[in-house]
């Protein structure tokens, strides 16, 4: 069982490394953190766009990666999906929905 877990972690690290190496240099990822002042909650955002054209007038896609068990940075793990959208002329905004300190979502029982 331990070998299986180590093997899984090894392949996961390879995928993450490959994603960084294969990222298109003509596509920029800017990150920023917004503040929800009502709840005093930070909202990490990533903005993907082409480096060589202005953002004015481009259509925007809001990418929702879904629930990822409060893992930090999960909104940054989808370049393989988002870069082709940027190449097609879109600006893509990816949002980190949950934060590490958030209580886990109910997945069973009376939800």
Percent of the chain with pLDDT over 70: 64
**Nearest CA to 41 among 105, 106, 103, 98?**
98
The answer to whether residues 79 and 29 touch, using CB atoms and an 8 Å cutoff, is: yes
Q: Which two tokens stand for residue 12?
A: 């996961």
The whole-model pTM stands at 0.67
Q: Which domains does the chain have, with CATH numbers?
A: 25-111 (3.40.50.1820)
- Which ranges constitute the DSSP H helices of the chain? 2-22, 79-87
Give the pLDDT of residue 20. Answer: 47
pLDDT tens profile 12-59: 554 544 444 457 888 999 999 998 898 788 888 999 999 988 889 999
Give the pLDDT of residue 19. Answer: 47
3-state SS, 48-76, equals: EEECCCCCCCCCEEEECCCCCCCCCCHHH
Mean pLDDT across the chain: 77
């Amino acid at each position: 069982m331990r070998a299986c877990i180590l093997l899984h972690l090894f392949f996961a690290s390879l995928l993450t490394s490959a994603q960084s190496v294969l990222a298109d240099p003509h596509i920029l990822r800017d990150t920023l953190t917004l503040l929800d002042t009502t709840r005093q909650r930070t909202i990490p955002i990533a903005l993907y766009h082409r480096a060589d054209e202005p953002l004015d007038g481009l259509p925007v896609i809001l990418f929702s990666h879904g629930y990822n068990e409060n893992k930090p940075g999960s909104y940054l793990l989808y370049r393989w999906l988002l870069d082709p959208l940027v190449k097609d002329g879109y600006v893509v905004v990816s949002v980190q929905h949950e934060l590490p300190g958030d209580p886990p979502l109910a997945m069973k029982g009376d939800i």
